[in-house]
Amino acid sequence: MNDYVIHTEGLCLSYKGKLALDHLSLRLPRGGVHAIVGANGAGKSTLFRVLLGFAAFDAGSAQVLGSDCRALTPAMRARIGFVNEEHTLPGWMRVAELAGMQRRLYPQWSEERYRQVLANFNVAERQKIAELSRGERAGVSLALALAQGPELLILDEPTLGLDVVAKRAVLDALLQTSLDDGATVVYCSHQMDEIERVADNLVILERGVLRHMSPPDEFCDKVALWIADFPFRQPEAAHLPGVLELRVIEGLTHLVVFDQGDDFGARLRLMGARSAQRMAVSLDRAVNGFLARGHAGSPSLSAAA
């Protein structure tokens, strides 16, 4: 057994002539919360379908918990929990009936964990799934997934469309599971405030390729905003190293840069800037700037793994 819950090498998958996964090599260690982010079409959901054995791939390899994703046995699947963004559950069943079915399917079922999570969502077990709100369905989905005692929990946009209270309940349950049960959580979201709160590891995908992987705070430390005052000609992004984004706002040049030290300010002054000030950025700004690189004419940056 290796130390990776997810291990892909050269993973390729084409869909309608488009590479959804482009020679993706990804190794996620056991433990903690791994957040996978990227623009729409980055390959996040496709990767999850491959890992769960729902989609065949064209080339490369993919393993989950040390097993080939193409040959997952029922016993292996019982070690993996999954919650999708739609919280798809049989609408005709009552909550109690659905929980009863799950108890019989999973030998590691924890009634205590099920009750604990469900209590945060004000769900009556006599209710039919079809009668539940989106937030209540999310609570039931998460309670069922956590109660099965998974070693790996995969969540695809689990808080999409939820109100603030339901989102907080979901995130609290994820943190508690990672800390108390030792489960590894792989979490896909566009909400950077959520990722800042729960993630130990940030994975950035772009067009099916791994572009960066590190703890979120380390990534933020590599990205900075420089605000410079150029009285005459504005610089071109292609002439500056590490530029992710360049905008002129109210006469000042705003540059989001990657992996540049304080000497970047000196470079701006040599190019004619009267002043140059470095500022920290939020994770949201850092990720969006990283994914937007190239639109300002800057060279692409290689993956940091």
**What tokens does 209 get?**
């390729």
More confident residue, 270 or 294: 270
The C-alpha torsion from 191 through 193 and 195 to 201, rounded to 10°, is 130
Over residues 153-192, the pLDDT tens digits come to: 999 988 888 888 888 888 888 777 766 777 899 989 888 9
Average pLDDT across the chain, whole number:
88
Domains of the chain: 31-58+73-213 (3.40.50.300), 218-292 (3.30.70)
End-to-end CA distance of the chain: 22
Compute the distance between CA of residue 90 and CA of residue 258 in angstroms, rounded to an integer.
46
Query: Residue 297 above 80 pLDDT?
Result: no
Q: In whole angstroms, what separates CA 82 from the centre of its chain?
A: 14
Query: Residue 267 above 80 pLDDT?
Result: yes
Compute the distance between CA of residue 209 and CA of residue 105 in angstroms, rounded to an integer.
36
The pLDDT value recorded for residue 48 is 95
Cβ pair 195, 202 in contact under 8 A: yes
Please state the rounded mean pLDDT for residues 128-156: 91
Kindly report the CA angle at 179 between 174 and 181, in degrees rounded to 5? 85
Over residues 73-83, the pLDDT tens digits come to: 999 999 999 99
Compute the distance between CA of residue 5 and CA of residue 154 in angstroms, rounded to an integer.
11
Three-state SS at 238:
helix
The pLDDT value recorded for residue 234 is 84
Q: Which of 49-53, 194-198, 297-301 has the highest mean pLDDT?
A: 49-53
The pLDDT value recorded for residue 274 is 94
With cut-offs at 50, 70 and 90, classify the pLDDT of residue 2.
low
Q: Which residues pair with 214 in a beta bridge?
A: 202
Three-state SS at 25:
strand
Compute the distance between CA of residue 225 and CA of residue 243 in angstroms, rounded to an integer.
10
Q: What ranges in the chain are assigned the alpha helix state H?
A: 44-51, 74-77, 95-105, 111-118, 134-147, 164-180, 192-198, 216-222, 263-270, 283-292
* Contacts of 112 by beta carbon, 8 Å cutoff, 6+ apart: none
Nearest to 169 by CA among 96, 116, 131, 133: 116
The pLDDT value recorded for residue 293 is 67
Compute the distance between CA of residue 48 and CA of residue 214 in angstroms, rounded to an integer.
20
With cut-offs at 50, 70 and 90, classify the pLDDT of residue 292.
confident
Q: In whole angstroms, what separates CA 5 from the centre of its chain?
A: 15
Query: Residue 19 above 80 pLDDT?
Result: yes
Query: Residue 129 above 80 pLDDT?
Result: yes
Query: Residue 294 above 50 pLDDT?
Result: no
Cβ pair 117, 139 in contact under 8 A: yes
What does pTM read for this prediction?
0.88
Query: Residue 69 above 50 pLDDT?
Result: yes
Output the CA torsion sign for 131, 135, 141, 142: negative
Compute the distance between CA of residue 200 and CA of residue 174 in angstroms, rounded to an integer.
12
Cβ pair 87, 37 in contact under 8 A: no
Query: Residue 62 above 90 pLDDT?
Result: yes
Nearest to 15 by CA among 153, 233, 208: 208
The pLDDT value recorded for residue 169 is 85
